[in-house]
Structure 1
Amino acid sequence: METKGAGVRVSCLGPEGTWSEFAVRSMFSRAEIAFCRGFREAIELAEAGSTEYCVLPVENSIEGPVTPVLDALTSTGLRIVAEKIVSVRQALLAVGTDIRRVVSHPQALAQCEGRIRAMFPNAEIISVSSTSAGAIEAANREDTAVVGPPWLAQKYGLRVIAQDMSDYRFNLTRFICLGRGRPPRTGRDKTSLTLVLRDDGPGSLHRLLTPFAERLINLSMVVSRPEKEKPWRYRFFFDLHGHEDDSAVRSALSDISSMVTEMKVIGSYPREDWPQTDA
């Protein structure tokens, strides 16, 4: 995939001003962005060909996987063609000083909850659909502050009350780009897949992981999600270092094929290291 291009159409979570827009701008030098109300809508635009790519947050270093995105990946025909790791620096923005409400996207609130509680112990913490939606609300209520990107201040007429709101030193979000391509091997790749175990009895997960360990394949993410129509049955999501065309990866996937009822490679794509500049 060419991650720098002109006139590329990309869908992402909106409205304007979110970290999703920042991720798109980081991946594409000039993009026509379709801002969507939810992850599913963003995927559907790319599936229908209205956009060429879809950029979604899939994992945060503090809060872990973005589970609605993982669930959506099971049913789409799109594949992951690139990833981007963004260093997220949340700010607290408002027009007033008597703050009784703090609003933002649930992930942003969770990343900063300790700091919010320390600053405003009696404030109501309210989840909204996006950081930009929270900024719009904060711009219209003097008792409301929003946690979000600092650039929202100028866009919505807010002032920055505090910078670096995160409770932890590092706050990184991994974004994935979905498209229809199949990036070639680079020698430094990642493969994402989802699968359902045939047998969930004792030792079944150990047997599943053994072929990867024997081939020294690093699993950088292992997440389980409930099967919606099968109570107490689970689907697994793996991120592994390597390309699906690597002989070791092909061999491991072949070994586990008899252990699963379903297996889908969501994509093999160049792997990005998290930015070290914050260290």
Structure 2
Amino acid sequence: MVSIATIGPEGSHAWQAARQYNPAATIRLFPNLTAVFKAFAAKETDLALAPVYNTHEGQSKEYSRLITAMSTCFWQDNIVMPIHLSLGSLSATEPISMLQGKSEALRQCEDYITSVYPEATLTSVRDLDAAVSKIKQQGLAGHGVIESEEALRAYGLTLRAREIVPHNRTRFAVLGPAPAPRTGYDATAIITTPIKDRVGILADILHEFTKRSINLIDLQTETDPKSQKLQFFIEFEGHLSDARVRAAIERIEHQIIAEPGSVRVLGSFPRVDMRVKRIKTFGFIGSGEMSLWFAERLQSEGYETMITGRHSALRPEEMVPQVEVVVICVPISATPAAVREYGPKLAENQALILLVGEAENVLDTALTHTREGVEVLLVHNLWGPQAATMKDKNASVVRTARSGVLSSEFEAFLYKHGAKISFDTPEQHDLMMGVSQKLPTSISVALALALKDNAILPEAIGSHATLTSLYSILSMARVHSQNPRTYAEIMATSGQGRRIIESFAENLGKITKLAESGEIEALCTLIENNRQYLSEAFLKDRMQQALAVDTTLGRVLSRD
């Protein structure tokens, strides 16, 4: 039978966590973490369970120091427990003059103690069993004890107050003699030995994770009391068997810190999320590349996904009742019809997320064809399925009056992966898409038509182009090198984006008339007025970007 060492007494939160982790295990209780680790290191138990993080007090540094000293120990798993701390004493009425408890319990109750017992003396105890025995033996009725309700009742104390710290959760680490296998939804924890400080060392360490798109979960730094050198604790997503994880660790140890043996891998384990996830499964209507792209990244966050399409075995109407969130990701022109067909099938407390590049018409349709209790959110990702990540990519998010907690959870997913989110109204979205997509696409198509109308061979363009004119030529090439339906859908969008096309056409007509009339001064005035509107700061910033692009293009052209 498996045995687990953890902190007592019986009924404590650590005891409850061990019992929940393995109900059949033999649980051996010890008064403090030092004793727990000593017993585990001596192989008196198969596993050890220790608190490592609490939502109120943060990381347990005592745990980090103890595990660093152990040579044969791996962080294998986690369990998250709600911590229900209560207050007990011998008497129900005697004024409380002293509060006793484990140090972590007292820290978690700091706000409660300050508010209710500001004059009480606080005493942190390592052995709660011994402390309660003393209270009983000496009849210390004014001494209160903070622990779980179960433990207080087991001690025979009177319950004075329940649940004195709301929203309190603790993460317990399960330690074993061997590393845990990869699950696909993992995290890895490392800790450094005390290292020499130098300017930029933390930034250099973090860069090794950033450039490999490895997301950090936790970072702690402290100074070793003996050597006065820095020590880092880092937890990040991924398993030690992942090539990019191994590469990052090796680079940090041998190139950044440059001290062999300076990085200790505490273990890889199934990833735990201290946040409350309300979504278990996303269901996609639309089986194209963009749906698969999002589904893959949602799976990496521990969500389940279902993909349905025109030819899938699982039909959309069968999928809808099985998920919390329905995502419609189909061509723009097909989205309203999909919403009208499947929107009424969503139940109260489900969410409908629309991955689409048109807001006004689509959202009107969605709000009309879904129940009042269905959340509705529109997200327009301004990248395609060829993108490796969404880091630093633009995303327009359009919330509605019915966007709620499920919508916010999806927004948090985008934010975590580095998307640059703009929150727009439906009208703002469509107007801005007119500027950034509808108009540039229309210009590119019109330019190609003009070349054809005037019998200009594409091969002849390069020899007559400046770097400035090359931008429009490259844009034209991009539009005509990819799926034509994508760009046709963009040009055919409705809403405020049409205003941009109409305004552009009108102004192009005015400029053409002035140019044909040779009115140079009038054209100069137009440009000067535009300069004032665009602002000096905007022009300076964008000109620097243009010069950087010019430099790159110049190098490419020189090679050609």
Residue 177 of structure 1 deviates from its aligned partner by: 1.1
Q: How far apart, CA to CA, are the structure 2 residues paired with 1:66 and 1:251?
A: 28
Determine the structure 2 residue equivalent to 1:256. 252
> Of 191, 197, 201, which residue of structure 2 is paired with 1:204?
201
Determine the structure 2 residue equivalent to 1:9. 3
Determine the structure 1 residue equivalent to 2:176. 179
1:187 counterpart SS class? coil
Q: 1:133 to 1:201 in 2, by over 3 A?
A: same
1:83 aligns with 2:78: yes
TM-score by length of 2: 0.46
1:61 aligns with 2:60: no
1:95 aligns with 2:94: no
Partners of 1:93 and 1:158 within 8 A in 2:
yes
Residue 15 of structure 1 deviates from its aligned partner by: 2.8
Residue 126 of structure 1 deviates from its aligned partner by: 1.4
Q: How far apart, CA to CA, are the structure 2 residues paired with 1:172 and 1:145?
A: 22
Q: How far apart, CA to CA, are the structure 2 residues paired with 1:202 and 1:29?
A: 49
Residue 154 of structure 1 deviates from its aligned partner by: 2.3
Q: How far apart, CA to CA, are the structure 1 residues paired with 2:195 and 2:149?
A: 48
Q: How many matched pairs?
A: 270
**For 1:102-146, what per-residue CA distance to the aligned partner results, in whole angstroms no more than 9, with x for missing partners?**
111111111112212322232222111155555445554211111
Determine the structure 1 residue equivalent to 2:65. 71
1:186 counterpart SS class? coil
1:266 aligns with 2:263: no
Partners of 1:131 and 1:148 within 8 A in 2:
no
Q: How far apart, CA to CA, are the structure 1 residues paired with 2:132 and 2:85?
A: 13
Deviates more, 1:263-272 or 1:116-125: 116-125
Q: 1:240 to 1:81 in 2, by over 3 A?
A: same
Q: How far apart, CA to CA, are the structure 1 residues paired with 2:36 and 2:271?
A: 23
Residue 44 of structure 1 deviates from its aligned partner by: 2.0
Determine the structure 1 residue equivalent to 2:354. none
Residue 229 of structure 1 deviates from its aligned partner by: 2.9
1:246 aligns with 2:245: no
Partners of 1:18 and 1:132 within 8 A in 2:
no
2:109 counterpart SS class? helix
Give the fraction of aligned pairs with identical amino acids, expressed as a percent: 27
Q: Aligned partner of 1:265: which letter?
A: V
Residue 38 of structure 1 deviates from its aligned partner by: 2.4
What are the equivalent positions in structure 2 for 1:1-279 lying under 5 Å apart?
A: 7-76=1-70, 77-96=72-91, 97-98=93-94, 99-129=96-126, 132=129, 135-139=132-136, 140-166=139-165, 169-196=166-193, 199-231=196-228, 233-257=229-253, 258-260=255-257, 261=259, 262-274=262-274, 276=276
Q: Aligned partner of 1:86: which letter?
A: M
The structure where strand makes up a greater share of residues is 1
Residue 273 of structure 1 deviates from its aligned partner by: 2.5
1:269 counterpart SS class? strand
Higher relative contact order (CA 8 A, sep 6+): 1
Q: Aligned partner of 1:91: which letter?
A: S
Q: How far apart, CA to CA, are the structure 1 residues paired with 2:244 and 2:182?
A: 13
The structure where helix makes up a greater share of residues is 2
Q: Aligned partner of 1:179: which letter?
A: G
**For 1:140-195, what per-residue CA distance to the aligned partner results, in whole angstroms no more than 9, with x for missing partners?**
421111111011232111222111211xx421111111111221111111111111
Gaps of 5+ in 1: 1-6
Gaps of 5+ in 2: 279-404, 406-560
Q: 1:38 to 1:224 in 2, by over 3 A?
A: same
1:142 counterpart SS class? coil
Q: How far apart, CA to CA, are the structure 2 residues paired with 1:10 and 1:57?
A: 14
Residue 226 of structure 1 deviates from its aligned partner by: 2.3
Q: How far apart, CA to CA, are the structure 2 residues paired with 1:92 and 1:146?
A: 6
Q: 1:108 to 1:177 in 2, by over 3 A?
A: same
